[in-house]
Structure 1
């Protein structure tokens, strides 16, 4: 299993998928409450067909727990959606680090970079409502923290290519922004239902971009 090398420079300003790592140790009852709240939140999202109807008060009432418990587990309404994304982010990362090629190890770096971009675009579009709701406007940077692994993984793949003279750290930041920038989360209904398929068009544009970088 390969692991991405840590790039240089400060984090890119990209969208607010939560940082995925080892969570702090919790008491057994706290773990049960968290799992129960997240399962209840997913039920509510499925029933209400959107993130706007999910509130901390509504989640507490539906789960049969006190509002204080919801605050302790998630802190803010945005924190609920950040937690909902964590499991999907871990699954996505596992596919990148240990799944079959070309997304996983074993394919040439350009093919892996193309596959990563296509997969990330699909992930962001599929989870756009939850990702939008996970953005916390009270943060100094409302767009949120850097997406776990994206810039690191892209930088690693760029380093495996022959891109003589390119500033790979800055190029990795720019490519990460192309995948996790706000436009992917704010596509309109008409964009998403157009006959040509917006996900395929964006994915093809990413592939064209990577091919041009490799041939420059």
Structure 2
């Protein structure tokens, strides 16, 4: 009977210790942080964050690489994004109920050295083509050729209009339309039409107006 009580007490003590350890591991924290690319200060936006220990809970960082969500101490959080090597982070034990981390991700994009393309296969072919150019020595003649009406018309056909040119053109068209509308409204009244007055004066001078009036 004493042995059974001893084993019962040890079993109870083991259960208590395991429950305390389990409660400590399951501590809830507010897990926040910012994700940066290794070797630069640029944030990694819209990173997929997956909590594999909590039924695959998925979150996404904002456009500045910031994230914040509720997790548990000991959870393994995985970070993945297109063009970056996936990385994992285990939330450590903390005395506070908040934990902030700086997550670094390695970029898989390799920048190639700058290349200047040429339409010639080699520098020798470029030199031959350049020497074959017929460039005049007269700078004034070259300028006149470039600003000739034909050259400017050809350039205008292939050059798109800027926003300022389109706005000016629309303003001129609206002004012309309003002017024509005002003129038409003005001349719709015979008393304001100078042509009608001129015709009336000519009829009076010729006597046509009086003869027409006498017929009635």
TM-score where L is the length of structure 2:
0.18
Give the helix-richer structure, 1 or 2.
1
Higher relative contact order (CA 8 A, sep 6+): 1
Larger strand proportion of the pair: 2
- For the pair shown, the structure with the greater C-alpha radius of gyration is 2
